[in-house]
Amino acid sequence: MNRQQVPAADSIPSQVIKKYLEIPRFTRSFITISLVMSVLIRMGVVSTDQLYYHPLYLKELQLYRLLTGPFFLGSLGISVVMNLFMILGFCSRLEQAKYTNRTGDLILAVAIAVLCFAAGGAVPLLYTQLMADQVSLFLVFLFSRQCPDVTMSLMGTIRYPGRMAPWVFLGLNFLMGQRIAPGLFAIAVAAAYHYVDEGYPVRFGSNPLEAVRRRLGLRRMATRSAQRRQAWTSRDYGRAPPQQRVQPFPDVPSTRPQRPASGAWAGRGRVVGRSTPDQ
């Protein structure tokens, strides 16, 4: 007797796509752009001189560097991979904890931070070629204020509370050869933004950023984006539609009454096909 085969489990590419789409939208975009830029630099398609930010380039009207600078982590290597994993851990949790369906607010926060870092870059002490590290530290600080008691681990060995995350991140950057001053400046910008967004409304009863958010309409855009993301992640990649899937045990007939393919439910509470009892 021919037996129907049970469909195989999801393929590896389908599982990878599912996991990728489950990453919050902003974190997914940040990691993707940074990784693509690092790979292109590693392959020699573009050079670092074309991507990183420096205040002198603004005099030449190379304004695109304000967009590429926040995602520039350098050529692909161990330090870039470690930074991307830390961004994935901290930024995704921040986005899920505070910015659920508020991606526009997070974009606005990063945009304000980038403008501050670009202005601070005019001071040689505060300038760094890797503005992405400052943006990452900015997001890590916001995470530490949103989830101060969450236990984090460094490479699965050292455990520390969430409130210490920016200082751990700053220490790792120092061990990888980066200067401390730009990182401290990023923490100061994040602390100022956190106060304006959460501390100032509690003390004075109004949030100065709300007017900007309403004016830009970022919240409505984020809501529509969240709906599209939910539609994508709810798809069943690589599997047959429910009506085409076979039973795990095809030899055992189902005793559950089935609803007709079309039309109203004709059983009226009785199993279809069963004769009506004598009145």
pLDDT digits (tens, 9 = 90+) for 53-109: 888 887 788 888 888 888 888 777 777 887 888 888 888 888 888 887 777 888 888
For the four alpha carbons of 103, 29, 181 and 170, in that order, the dihedral sign comes to positive
* Mean pLDDT, the chain, integer: 75
* Interatomic CA distance for residues 87 and 20, integer angstroms: 14
135: nearest Cα among 161, 100, 111, 162: 111
SS (H, E, C) 81-143: HHHHHHHHHHHHHHHHHCCCCCHHHHHHHHHHHHHHHHHHCCCCCCCCCCHHHHHHHHHHHHH
- Pick the range with the lowest mean pLDDT from 28-32, 162-166, 247-251, 274-278: 247-251
Phi, psi at residue 229, to the nearest 5°? -65, -40
Q: pTM of the predicted model, to two decimals?
A: 0.70
More confident call, 212 vs 271: 212
The per-residue pLDDT for 187 is 93
* Interatomic CA distance for residues 170 and 166, integer angstroms: 6
The per-residue pLDDT for 211 is 72
Phi, psi at residue 152, to the nearest 5°? -110, 165
222: nearest Cα among 109, 68, 67, 116: 109
The per-residue pLDDT for 152 is 80
The per-residue pLDDT for 244 is 42
Strand partners, 153: 159
For 69-100, give one letter per residue: b (16+ CB within 10 A) or e: bbbbbbbbeebbeebbebbbbbbbbbbeebbe
pLDDT digits (tens, 9 = 90+) for 105-154: 888 888 999 999 988 888 888 888 888 888 989 999 998 888 888 888 77
